[in-house]
Amino acid sequence: MLSCADSARASRVFVILQYAPWAAFSTLRVFALSRLWSLSILVLLLSSVPIGINFTNFGFTPGGVVVPPLGCVYSDSLPSDLAKRSVVWVPSSADRVNLTGV
């Protein structure tokens, strides 16, 4: 029987590998339209970047944590300051400047 950590890691691998068919499809589409292997290889490399980047999380000792209402969920030991820097800031309506009185 798999432990929670092994189950969470396997689940994460399957989530990451969902990018592979899209990379292959994009590569074949570019080759079908252009007939250039060099351009197809470039598209394959660029569309495989998310796979490589997402697999870098495995360097931060991935595992699983049992959360009672959810069950086994994926977790890693990514430092909190690094995690905070990797969050993309999206402006909200509270951040907008009111220019109606100008």
pLDDT tens, position by position, 50-98 = 999 888 877 777 777 787 887 888 777 777 777 777 666 666 665 566 6
Every domain of the chain and the residues it spans: 4-95
Distance between CA atoms of 82 and 59, rounded to whole angstroms? Answer: 13
37: left (phi over 0), alpha (psi -120 to 50) or beta: alpha
Distance between CA atoms of 34 and 38, rounded to whole angstroms? Answer: 10
Residue 43's pLDDT is what?
97
The model's pTM: 0.64
> Which residues have a Cβ under 8 Å from the Cβ of 42 and sit 6 or more positions away?
none
- The per-residue DSSP string of 4-72 comes to HHHHHHHHHHHHHTTHHHHHHHHHHHHHHHH--HHHHHHHHHHHTHHHHHHHGGGGG--EEEEETTTEE
Residue 10's pLDDT is what?
85
- Which tops the pLDDT comparison, 83 or 40? 40
